[in-house]
Structure 1
């Protein structure tokens, strides 16, 4: 335990605590009006109290997963993948719970669980494991690259059917980053990337509601009371905040004007109440998280650890970018939340679990100078990542 605590990456821990505690405060500020006026709740602190419970549980999971050797996760890759697929299939049956027109949850009585959140870490783990094991076959597209891509496409399709294109896209990005740094040939990456972009565009324009959302983000004021309403309210909140903001808790848009103020659009509330300074705090903190993740990957003891650290880092960062793009009108609205800040149990617990794994990679990297690590089962620890061909 002492060795574990001594080798913690404390800057990473500070970043995680800053984001999650800041998020807890903003969840209360963004939700107390809605929760207090809702006759089915009638408690202004309802969402805050639940988020506080998720935060405590998340921290417990974080420290537990940081103590659990990330190398041991390789043995869990196959069962984790199977369980994830089963959950994703169950969501599409009568067991799935529909909220706001999307069927993304399973009801576990105590809480609603979102299997697509589990798919985030499962696919990062699977890609890191399989591309480490197949590193000597990555030049062969059919044997090395195609099999994991097909499984990724299968999971992507299950999530899109919920529908949840935002989460599916963030998983696609994270796995793409892992594939990029695994050493796959450039022409293979170009082909896969082109196919992925074409697929996303087909999915956007192939469904009426997705097409409307896409066009509404380009010109929201053409339908101010329909598809453009949410983005317009978000832009009003951002504009109202200016540099200093209107003050914590004093925002107006959360009082019935801005839908999903404490979840998808919590960043709009931050912009309104804390102004440019609040926005910069969030962006800079996420940039610091990305920097730490890349450095942890660089110092990881083996290839699997490097790919895993990169995948976890860019899974979280891509989700943040998609969310920030949506609330500012730079990207289509996808319904994806802001990691560690938005309200939500499944997202909070899974994010803390993945960050715990990232911390474990950092710990192993810090320990590497003190003693000889156990060798990776597929790759010598001294072998560096191959460059992209």
Structure 2
């Protein structure tokens, strides 16, 4: 046990913990006015976020000490559980509706998003499947296609909620594993083209999605309607300057910017902490990306490599989607900022994914120490 504790990747943990602390502080700052008006309690969202953080950190440390190889043996029941939960969400009276979407299951006062579970389970499934298929991965029908069938089913179940943003995040995470799986490039290109066309068709097939595209391209065409959220995000970002107005001093969170503590928390961070605040968070994500790629490079086996790459890309791509939407560079997808935004399911599953990443890193460290010990004995 002492050897395992000594193998903890403290640089990874400190990076994650700093992001959580910044996020918790900013969730409170961005939400306390709305919390007072809506619930009569300034710490309503802070308390709930803290609860999920504590639960998430407990799971992070538990998962950190579970050999990641175990998930390969449990992948079948995990996939079945995922499919059951995603199906239950779509059953009238079972799934919980919020903002015209049915994405949650309710357990008393607690709401949980099965699509968040799907993100980590599909990464584990793809990692296991394509590790086993490496010898015949160039065979499209036998090697490449079978796991993609499950991906299409899961993607469809998530889009039906509807939640295209999470579906896209899932496609990118699983696609990243395909990218390093030694599959033929022309197969990857064809699959990428099909995926891109499917997303474009889905994005333009529903009025509310088309409206998001319209407001993204020209929010000032309807500043009090479709472009309201984007315009107020611009105002928050534009008034932040270098150092911001100071923590707690945002004006846009006072009912002007919808989803100020969830999807658009970065706009509030920039308004209150300025470019310095934005830079700090971007640097932390870059550190997380570097750590993830480092763990991918030195992972003991292909299963570990695929998991490390998939988890890292999924978290960082979600951050890119969120930052792009907040700044008006990408359409609004409803994707939260990992480890920063308010959201229990996202926080819990992200920390579980990072716990698996930590275990891979710990095994790398243990193998390195064992190798050095064997060398010293040989000398």
TM-score in same-fold range (> 0.5): yes
SS of corresponding position for 1:20: helix
Backbone CA RMSD of aligned residues: 0.9
Residue 313 of structure 1 corresponds to 312
2:73 matches 1:75? yes
Displacement of 1:369 in angstroms is 2.0
For each residue in 1:184-240, what CA deviation from the matched residue of structure 2 results, as whole angstroms up to 9, or x when unmatched?
Answer: 110100000000000000001111111110121011111112211111111110001
Displacement of 1:52 in angstroms is 1.1
SS of corresponding position for 2:348: helix
SS of corresponding position for 2:369: coil
Residue 46 of structure 2 corresponds to 48
SS of corresponding position for 1:370: helix
Superposed, which structure 2 residues align to 1:189-228 within 5 Å? 189-228=188-227
Residue 231 of structure 1 corresponds to 230
Superposed, which structure 2 residues align to 1:333-348 within 5 Å? 333-348=332-347
- CA distance in structure 2 between the partners assigned to 1:204 and 1:53 by the alignment: 35
- Could you state the TM-score of these two structures normalised by the residue count of structure 1? 0.94
Residue 109 of structure 1 corresponds to 108
2:3 matches 1:3? yes
The counterpart of 1:65, out of the listed 52, 63, 66, is 63
- CA distance in structure 1 between the partners assigned to 2:101 and 2:173 by the alignment: 23
- CA distance in structure 2 between the partners assigned to 1:210 and 1:76 by the alignment: 37
Displacement of 1:370 in angstroms is 3.1
Structure 1 gap ranges (5+): 373-389
SS of corresponding position for 1:105: strand
Residue 380 of structure 1 corresponds to none
- CA distance in structure 2 between the partners assigned to 1:8 and 1:299 by the alignment: 15
Superposed, which structure 2 residues align to 1:154-165 within 5 Å? 154-165=153-164
Superposed, which structure 2 residues align to 1:1-389 within 5 Å? 1-38=1-38, 41-94=39-92, 95-371=94-370
Residue 377 of structure 2 corresponds to none
Displacement of 1:177 in angstroms is 0.7
For each residue in 1:239-274, what CA deviation from the matched residue of structure 2 results, as whole angstroms up to 9, or x when unmatched?
Answer: 010111011000000110011111111111001000
- CA distance in structure 2 between the partners assigned to 1:371 and 1:250 by the alignment: 53
- CA distance in structure 1 between the partners assigned to 2:62 and 2:159 by the alignment: 32
- CA distance in structure 1 between the partners assigned to 2:149 and 2:191 by the alignment: 11
- CA distance in structure 2 between the partners assigned to 1:36 and 1:92 by the alignment: 33
SS of corresponding position for 1:107: strand
Displacement of 1:86 in angstroms is 0.9
- CA distance in structure 1 between the partners assigned to 2:95 and 2:230 by the alignment: 28
Residue 376 of structure 1 corresponds to none
- CA distance in structure 1 between the partners assigned to 2:193 and 2:127 by the alignment: 22
Structure 2 gap ranges (5+): 372-379
